[in-house]
Amino acid sequence: MLREHVGVIDISNFGKYEVAGPGAGDWLDRLVANHVPREIGKSCLTPLIGMRGGVAGDFTITMTGDDRYMMIGSGMAERYHRRFFDMVPMPDGTAIEVATPRMAGFNVAGPRSREMLARLTDADLSNDGWPFMRSRSISVGGVACLAIRVSFTGDLGWELHCAESDQLALYDALLSAAAAHGGGPVGGRALGALRIEKGYGSWGREYSPEYWPQEAGLHRLIKLDKEFLNKDAYLKISNTPPRESLTMFEVDVTEDADANGGEPIFLSDGTPVGRVTSGAYGYSVGKSLAIGYAREGTVRAGDKVDIYILGKPHAATVLDSPPFDAAGARLRA
């Protein structure tokens, strides 16, 4: 449904932090590894580096106003991430608020998401008027929202964050508009399958402190021309070849059993080479898919491996790119 039309996904469980004050941008820049936006309405994706140089987290950071930012990350890692926030001294007059309890959110995504939202807002949703990775405060169905043009589905879409008290009103308005365009609600398991089709990693599965940024594919987002938390630890491992690499597989499923995470991966001769971190059936691409880490240099695109699902070997092929929109054209449509 979402890939053909539009879907509405509840993302209220995402961790949300508001950083405000005269030193907000500088504090964030010292915390995360990417450059923090300095123009209102711009957003960035950034890793947080752990004490041994691994991936401690990944965030979307948006500049929402003068000296004001919204940072969005994993909800289940909220308490863990707050330990890292405490490691960077906060400038006088600046503060961070855990905004998760007071804010709700929905992701509207799919090729008709622009048409659908146009029924509910007067904002210019065109590509020229609202490029990918830009944000704006708008009214959607009469509800004030922080809208960010980004989507964990890998499709055209917007995240809409509103006050918790407006959650039901916004949800009702979104579902009504979606129904008019052949869409409807999309659940968490479906979201998991959609992000796997796109090859997106998730905190606690593909991203955790045990994995180096160059293994998880996040090293491109690290900027060494500035200081950031645990930069020295990252520099110690930054030029070290990956021990293993995040890899995508198409699984030959002859029974109703897709990979889920934790399944071992073997070469045809029985040599163990890795493990699955996430798996699902990709309904929009018609393939059983798995993402996992394979020992560096052991497999390449087109190679055949065996993934043991429920104790049984299933043939799988190493993919060279995600099966859905590898070039990112839909995100930027």
Classify 84 as helix, strand or coil.
helix
Q: Are residues 287 and 187 in the same domain?
A: no
Q: Are the beta carbons of 50 and 56 closer than 8 angstroms? A: yes
Ordered per-residue pLDDT tens for the chain, 333 residues: 999 999 999 999 999 999 999 999 999 999 999 999 999 999 999 999 999 999 999 999 999 999 999 999 999 999 999 999 999 999 999 999 999 999 999 999 999 999 999 999 999 999 999 999 999 999 999 999 999 999 999 999 999 999 999 999 999 999 999 999 999 999 999 999 999 999 999 999 999 999 999 999 999 999 999 999 999 999 999 999 999 999 999 999 877 789 999 999 999 999 999 999 999 999 999 999 999 999 999 999 999 999 999 999 999 999 999 999 999 999 999
Classify 9 as helix, strand or coil.
strand
Q: Are residues 252 and 172 in the same domain?
A: no
Q: Are residues 190 and 251 in the same domain?
A: no
Greatest pairwise CA separation for the chain in angstroms: 62
Is 204 a member of any domain? no
Domain total of the chain: 2
Is 112 a member of any domain? yes
Other C-beta atoms lying within 10 Å of the C-beta of residue 112: 21
Classify 45 as helix, strand or coil.
strand
Last residue of a domain, one of 194, 229, 254: 194
The pLDDT tens digits for 30-87 are: 999 999 999 999 999 999 999 999 999 999 999 999 999 999 999 999 999 999 999 9
Is 307 a member of any domain? yes
Is 212 a member of any domain? no
Classify 11 as helix, strand or coil.
coil
Is 223 a member of any domain? no
Q: Are residues 174 and 254 in the same domain?
A: no
Q: Are residues 43 and 163 in the same domain?
A: yes
**Which residue range is the domain that position 282 belongs to?**
243-333
CATH of residue 113's domain is 3.30.1360.120
pLDDT of 67: 97
Q: Are residues 157 and 279 in the same domain?
A: no
Q: Are residues 172 and 34 in the same domain?
A: yes
Q: Could you tell me the pTM of the whole model?
A: 0.95
Q: Are residues 174 and 271 in the same domain?
A: no
CATH of residue 303's domain is 2.40.30.110
Q: Which among 57, 58, 69, 72 has a CA at the least distance from the CA of 28?
A: 69
Q: What is the CA radius of gyration of the chain?
A: 20
Is 184 a member of any domain? yes
Classify 55 as helix, strand or coil.
strand
Q: Calculate the CA 236 to chain-centre distance.
A: 27
Task: Give percent of the chain above pLDDT 90.
Answer: 98
Interatomic CA distance for residues 78 and 59, integer angstroms: 11
Chain position carrying tokens 């900027």: 223
Q: Are residues 148 and 258 in the same domain?
A: no
Q: Are residues 77 and 185 in the same domain?
A: yes
Is 205 a member of any domain? no
Backbone angles phi, psi at 143, to 5 degrees: -110, 130
Is 235 a member of any domain? no
Q: Are the beta carbons of 34 and 45 closer than 8 angstroms? A: yes
Q: Are the beta carbons of 60 and 1 closer than 8 angstroms? A: no
Task: Give percent of the chain above pLDDT 70.
Answer: 100
pLDDT of 254: 74
pLDDT of 256: 74
